[in-house]
Amino acid sequence: MEAVKCEGLVKTFGKNGRKISAVNRISFAVRRKEVFGIVGPNGSGKSTLIRILSTLLIPDAGSAHVFGHDVVREYGAVRRLINRVSVDAAFFKGISAWENLRYAARLYGLGKKDAKERSLDILGRLGFAEKRIYEPLEDLSRGMQQKVAIARAFFTAPMLLLLDEPTTGLDPRSKLDVQNYIKDSMNGSASDLTIILTTHDMREAEVLCDRVAIIIDGRFVTIGSPSQLRSMYGQPALEDVFLDITGREWKEIEDEY
């Protein structure tokens, strides 16, 4: 059984009296224990697709299954198998990092001691000083807050982790800490984790992903391993593949979705 299987997914939004296809008949499958990357410019549909898989949006057409569970009809079962980290991770900013993590642990039925041990282990491997776990989230840097979000997602031991631009806006050191932790987590012999990662960072996709899909205007235009894509398009790097496909320079466009 695939970890994720989507067939003919469609999601359309209305804006200024016209319809915009955020996800346009996308079909793909993700193997268990795979890191599957989705890259593309802002507004291309990456986050919309992640929200469908995380049961936060209902598709207009098509189907999506997570470990055999339909994300619409069996959303409760899906939510028990997944966790999500986004670029705008939500917290109670006035309380400490630990209090935020403790609250999440209670939602997932984790005991205080177990949650504390897991949190400190993950945060330590992410380069987060233990003494700062007791500081209010609002007093921590953007990078430190994102590390807390990563810890919150990983300590719940999900089968599918949806990482929606997890390193966007992080300084180089914090970005490397997060990337190394993801690699270490996937390389563990006992790991049964599957990850779907969206990113703007082509180097990050090359380093972390087993396969990469390039999405443009709500469609997957190509899928393959980084080496397959480089060979297919005769380019030295994934960013060059992207530029070859789009025929224009990489640029940031305000995310409409």
Q: Which of 144, 197, 201, 178 is nearest to 38 (CA)?
A: 197
Q: Which residue has the tokens 């009296």?
A: 17
| Sequence ranges of the domains in the chain | 90-157
Question: Which one-letter DSSP state was computed for residue 6?
Answer: E
**Distance of CA 16 to CAs 30, 46, 60, Å?**
35, 22, 19
Token couple for 160: 């599918």
Q: What is the pTM of this model?
A: 0.90
Task: Report how far apart the first and last C-alpha atoms of the chain are (Å, whole number).
Answer: 31
**One pLDDT digit (tens) per residue for the chain, 257 residues:** 899 999 999 999 987 778 888 999 999 999 999 999 999 888 889 999 999 999 999 999 999 999 999 999 999 999 999 999 987 777 888 899 999 999 988 888 888 888 888 889 999 999 898 899 999 999 998 888 989 999 999 888 899 999 999 998 888 988 999 999 999 988 865 678 999 999 989 999 999 999 999 999 999 999 999 999 999 999 999 999 998 887 653 444 334 33
**Distance of CA 176 to CAs 59, 180, 206, 222, 253, Å?**
34, 6, 14, 27, 25
φ, ψ for residue 15, nearest 5 deg: -150, 125
